[in-house]
Amino acid sequence: MQVLVLNSGSSSLKFQLFHMPDAHILCSGLIERIGLNDSIFKFKTEKDTIKITQSIPNHKVGLEILSNQLLNKDTGIIKSANDIHIVGHRVVQGGSYFDKTTEITPIVKEKIKELFSLAPLHNPANFEGIEVAETVFPKAKQVAVFDTAFHQTIPEHAHKYAIANEFLTDHDIRLYGFHGTSHKYISEKAIDFLDKENSKIISIHLGNGCSITAIENGESIDHSMGLTPLDGLIMGTRSGDIDPSVIFHFAKKLDYTLEDINTLLHKKSGMLGLTGYSDLRDIQAEADKGNKECQLALHMNAYRIKKYIGSYTAILNGLDAIIFTAGIGENSPEMRQHVCQNLDYLGIILDEEKNQIRPNKLTVISTEKSKVKILVIPTNEELEIAKQAVNLFKN
């Protein structure tokens, strides 16, 4: 069985084609910097590695480039669209409708569309992936794996907002949590490594979108993102935590429309708003040159993460490990160092030499004296999605 997995982020599209159930990777790749003139398409098989820089204005164009490459007679990996048996899609927001992996039907698609407003950078891109895949691979089963599913274990006292009860009971307004597939995958790896009957873990997913999760005995018990992926940590273009009154100020004093405010907070804030750059690699390079705005933005980013580490350590009543994952978490020793500085009171002590690596497997980067293990674990949301998609049809 061949399973193609599409993982659409806010400005990226990761993909892998697996032979299942042995999880052999037939091809993999990434489209990054979507929406910019210098977007990058990477495609890798056992024989070829292709890298193209071009303008990819949106996810639909990116998916069309991918489908053409998969079917390329010289460097592609499949001879016919019918070679794909399942297409697994990461879908960010499942709302109260979906708490598990689901085969995509017209009704499921309508529900995903209804949730666009709760994940405006993601669900539309996820939906485009579904629409294109249905056209290119008409005989494949289409499966949705929801980011929100892993966080269904968050207790009511943590997911409920302090507003009138009917907003939860009648309108499903609550904390949902996101990046669940990634947090689930890496926390299971960490639990196996720790080999403890009871575990207390903080997982930190740092990419263009960023989130942090408190995990007790394998279950999510709190998470930085809320009703939408806008809340929490500072991100590439998203503000993260902000006083809601700022929105009223924008509207009343600056004459911003609701659409203006939505665009500002989702697409023009975060690291982009602070520095003019959304890609951490660009920001780090500028900071190294002495750019004060970039230096401050990096400090603010790490400071916000530290605040969550402290609060989650409190609700867990202890801590066994913290995990760094995703594009920034796995590949930025500088950001990991910023985050871990001055956390020795919590028993978190970074080994600076070990921290310099960019590992391709679970790696400990804490010192021997550190009471808390600091782990870097490469996430593999695509493999997790493939497994869940195949399991859906086992019975």
Domains of the chain: 2-146 (3.30.420.40), 197-376 (3.30.420.40)
In which band, very low, low, confident or very high, does the pLDDT at 95 lie, cut at 50, 70 and 90?
Answer: confident
Binding annotation for substrate: 90
Q: Give the model's pLDDT for residue 129.
A: 85
Cα–Cα nearest to 375, from 112, 243, 171, 199: 199
End-to-end C-alpha distance for the chain, whole angstroms: 15
Binding site listing for Mg(2+): 7, 381
Q: How far apart are CA 29 and CA 45, in angstroms?
A: 9
What amino acid positions are annotated as catalytic residues?
147
Of 44, 55, 37, give the one whose Cα is nearest residue 15.
44
Region of 23 please: left (phi>0), alpha (psi -120 to 50) or beta: left
Q: pLDDT tens digit string along 122-148? A: 888 889 889 888 888 889 999 999 989
Q: Strand locations in 309-366, DSSP E?
A: 321-325, 363-364
pLDDT of residue 36: 86
| 298 pLDDT above the threshold of 90 | yes
Q: How many DSSP H helices and E strands does the chain contain?
A: 14, 14
* pTM for this model (two decimals): 0.86
Compute the mean pLDDT over every residue in the chain, rounded to the nearest whole number. Answer: 93
The pLDDT value given to residue 8: 79
Binding residues for ATP: 14, 205-209, 279-281, 327-331
pLDDT value at position 213?
Answer: 98
Tokens 């999760």 -> residue: 213
Quote the CA–CA distance of 328 and 279 in Å, as a whole number.
Answer: 10
CA-nearest of 129, 12, 20, 128 to 394 is 20
Across the range 336-359, mean pLDDT stands at 95
Dihedral of CA 105/111/114/120: which sign? negative
Task: Kindly state the average pLDDT of the residues 301-327.
Answer: 97
| Range name among 190-194, 306-310, 381-385 with the lowest pLDDT average | 381-385
Q: Say if CB 313 and CB 347 are below 8 A apart.
A: no
Burial 211-220 (b: 16+ CB within 10 A, else e): bbbbbbeeeb
In this prediction, residue 395 carries a pLDDT of: 61
Burial class (CB in 10 A: 0-12, 13-18, 19+), 206: buried
Angle (CA) 319-320-321 rounded to 5° is 100
